């Protein structure tokens, strides 16, 4: 449709997450939970014009508030990736997860091995870096959709397919 933006495939990233840390909130109607981001991978999509092969470094966090009605989670995640050519790139994503039975099972620890469906988690990703090769990331708009992958060991990885917003 003319005038509407589209998206071209840009990245896939996977983040291993730890158990939520319940912080609470004395001033808000919904409590804060902090979910540690323990590691992961970040890969450009085939044909993307800025190839990146990176790993998450350090420990990032996703700061999550649930809506008062319990139907959605509001994400605000912060992490750092390190590319194979030693560049450090900070990433931040904000988004919304709609809680169906599949996502609720992941967060309550009752999910079976497998993946939740695509389409219930959407994010907007921004970047910051001091490395010249990757500075153009700061000037583009990226959106993605995610799902949760549960291993046989019950460890959870969040997987995102991210696209760059382009002229439609």
Q: What does the chain come to in residues?
A: 168
Q: In the chain, what are the domain boundaries? A: 6-166
Distance CA 168, CA 162 (A): 17
Using alpha carbons, select from 94, 96, 99 the residue that is nearest to residue 76: 94
Task: With a cut of 70, say whether residue 151 has pLDDT above it.
Answer: yes
Q: What is the DSSP letter of 105?
A: H
Instruction: Quickly state the pLDDT bin for 139 (edges 50, 70, 90).
Output: very high
pLDDT digits (tens, 9 = 90+) for 103-112: 999 988 999 9
Helices H / strands E in the chain, number of each: 1, 10
Please provide the CATH number assigned to the domain covering 6-166: 2.40.160.20
Contact 144, 126 (CB under 8 A): no
pLDDT digits (tens, 9 = 90+) for 105-135: 998 899 999 999 999 999 999 999 999 999 9
Using alpha carbons, select from 129, 145, 140 the residue that is nearest to residue 166: 140
Q: What is the mean pLDDT of residues 152-156?
A: 95
Distance CA 66, CA 5 (A): 29
């Amino acid at each position: 449709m003319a005038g509407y933006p589209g998206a071209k495939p840009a990245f896939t990233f996977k983040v291993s997450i730890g158990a939520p840390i319940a912080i609470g909130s004395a001033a808000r109607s919904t409590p804060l939970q902090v979910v540690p981001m323990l590691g992961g991978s970040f890969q450009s999509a085939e044909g993307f014009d800025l190839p990146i092969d990176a790993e998450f470094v350090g420990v990032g966090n996703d700061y999550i508030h649930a809506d008062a009605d319990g139907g959605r989670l509001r994400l605000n995640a912060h992490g750092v990736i390190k590319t194979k050519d030693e560049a450090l790139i900070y990433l931040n994503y904000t988004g919304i997860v709609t809680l169906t039975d599949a996502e609720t099972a992941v967060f309550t620890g009752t999910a079976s091995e497998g993946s939740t469906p695509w389409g219930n988690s959407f994010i907007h990703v921004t970047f910051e870096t001091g490395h010249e090769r990757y500075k153009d990331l700061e000037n583009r708009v990226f959106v993605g959709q995610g799902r949760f992958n549960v291993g046989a060991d019950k460890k959870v990885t969040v997987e995102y397919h991210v696209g760059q917003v382009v002229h439609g």
